[in-house]
Amino acid sequence: MARAVTTVPQLLTAGLQDPIGSTVGPDGALYVPEGAIGRISRIDPATGARTTFASGLPPKIIPVGGVMDVAFLGGTAYALVTLVGPEFGGSAVDGVYRIDGPSTFTVIADLGTWSRQHPPTTTFFIPTGVQFAMLPYRGAFLVTDGHHNRVLRVTLGGDITQVQTYEDVVPTGMTSRGGQVYLTLAGPVPHLPENGRVVTFGASFTPATDVASGARLAVDVKFGPASTLYVLSQGYFVPGHPEGSPAEPDSGALFRFAAGGSMTSIASGLDRPVSFQIIGRTAYVVTLGGEVWSLRL
């Protein structure tokens, strides 16, 4: 399928099984984990052709979990796995996995055990947390925990430290620019627009400061052409639905950061988007339904 040339989203590929995160690899391709089957797929952004990059990772046990995200550091791929431990009848490790080959991997950090031993100050009911996204940052990884409301730093040697902690704001996606980290906060249930925010912090990990607000159930953030900041909104959350439930179908949007800290929608009607990447002037949006849509910026 050809790359989109208009501002109207175009379907690039479909059939992914429970994707959440995504990244752009060293080769310029999209890499998307599939939580339901423990697989990471490589997607050609120009054609939508899909191949298996890695398989055999722990699949999800409950409606969410398994392989949540993928990132490259030093040319090597790493996967973020969550909600696969004994609390849910599994036997795998919740943590960061180094991808050693098409079907081989090594756990470099046990986030589940660390989280049990270092509970958050906010209210929680899953002792191991719910790790959502990972970001390569200064030779290590930053990992968001949307349930324990914090950001962790994970080294390649397996050391884990807490570098940001919040009240009930649900940290989700991340990006970085010029040493600064930009983080989306979905906000507490029912994820009102004013609680969907972007905050930033630097290498000293001092408390985060606000950048923008107004994206309902914000799940990801990226920089595009001309250093413009874009924010992904999953959409309208029905009050009364259980915590962690997705937004309503076809209510998501992609926002562009505007002067003064507000956001302007540039694409609406997206079906429960979960992450996105920007390559050149095109955004690639991954949806909970297993699709990737391209959107010319």
Which string of DSSP letters, residue by residue, matches 160-181? EEEEEE-SS--EEEEEEETTEE
Residue 233 has pLDDT above 80, yes or no: yes
The model's confidence at residue 246, banded by pLDDT at 50, 70 and 90, is very high
Q: What is the pLDDT of residue 3?
A: 35
Q: pLDDT tens for residues 266-283?
A: 999 999 999 999 999 999
pLDDT for 1 equals 30
Which ranges in the chain belong to alpha helices (H)? 111-117
Strand-pair partners of 98: 78, 106
The CA-to-CA distance between both ends of the chain, in Å, stands at 18
User: Smallest Cα–Cα separation from 166: which of 196, 180, 145, 182?
Assistant: 145
Here the contacts of 26-29 (C-beta below 8 Å, separation 24 or greater) are: 26/72, 26/75, 28/279
pLDDT > 70 fraction of the chain, expressed in percent and rounded = 98
Residue from 162, 164, 148, 217 nearest 186 by CA = 217
Q: How far apart are CA 149 and CA 123, in angstroms?
A: 9
- Global pTM value: 0.95
pLDDT of residue 50 exceeding 70: yes
Strand order in the sheet with 252-257: 218-223, 229-233, 252-257, 263-270
pLDDT-derived band at 263 (thresholds 50, 70, 90) equals: confident
118-145 pLDDT, tens digit each? 999 999 999 999 999 999 999 999 999 9
Helix (H, G, I), strand (E, B) or coil at 202: coil
Average confidence score pLDDT of the chain: 95
Q: What is the C-alpha to C-alpha distance for residues 226 and 169, in angstroms, rounded to an integer?
A: 29
The CA-CA-CA angle for residues 50, 51, 53, to 5°, reads 130
